Structure 1
Amino acid sequence: MTEREVIARRAGAPRWIYLFTALFGLAFAGVSAWLGFTTGAPMGFLLIVFVLAGLFFTGISLFYFIKGMRMPEEIAVREGDMLTFLGQTFPLKELANVRYRLAHYHHGWGGMGWFLGWGRLTVVRKDGRSCVAYFVADVEEAHDRLIALMREYAAKESA
């Protein structure tokens, strides 16, 4: 029996944040449209811009919400010498590069900033194909573990 190690999981909260922002954008568009119909033409152009901005904001937020819902619960799983990343299984020795990007930089008190723990993880194979996973929980730890495995299998291959 080969050992099974879950390296990366989907983050739970971010996709619900996008649903909330989609509802906020829809409410903003609705209030702008209501104001446009009740106040008349003096602010008509500006309110049309507000309605379109609210609908655009809603569309982008729904896009990321659906993208987050489609991500599997276990994003990267190692079983022996094989890695399953987003449903694609390949040998670990095929890993060429692993990159990550933390999501949403926030400014803290005193000029100190902090990042949320979830982000985007990109795995590049030696044949040039790449896979990108969004909403990865503890993306920095997953990146470090995949880099360690990549180096381990590169050392085995060169020896």
Structure 2
Amino acid sequence: MKSLWLMIALTGAVSAQAAPVRPFPKPLTCKETVARPGTCAILQLGAPAATVESTDLALTDVSDSRCPLDVDCVWAGYVTAELLVENAQAGVREQAITLSLDPRNPGANVWIDDASGLTVILQDVSRGTATEGPIWQRRQVKVRVGYDLAQPNPNM
């Protein structure tokens, strides 16, 4: 009888260890291992505008067709972020811009004001799992802001 309980206990311990590890979203951060030009900022959907390099930036909308982290999909999808941008010093009046992380359109993550050279690069957008609830409540984007930023890698 003791050996039966021991076997049941060991079987439970083994099956508990064999459970797959579920991915969960990592918070966006500006901590980077490679120095890049410009200034990094994390913008929160619905939050007041953040001022970066004398530029006011506000995240106003996110449209995301990417797979949740815990789902296997045939198509990778893409994500689009809409921001309000204004920089009085550079002569950039408030305007809505749309940036996208889309593998079919590699340059869609960059906006450049032709007159001033002010550049905004969309680097990442927060991503969730299918089971964690409405991601839009916690939506964040990571952008890089500066002037005449070179864009050697579209996924910078």
TM-score of the pair, normalised by structure 1:
0.24
The structure whose residues are more often strand, as a share, is 2
TM-score of the pair, normalised by structure 2:
0.24
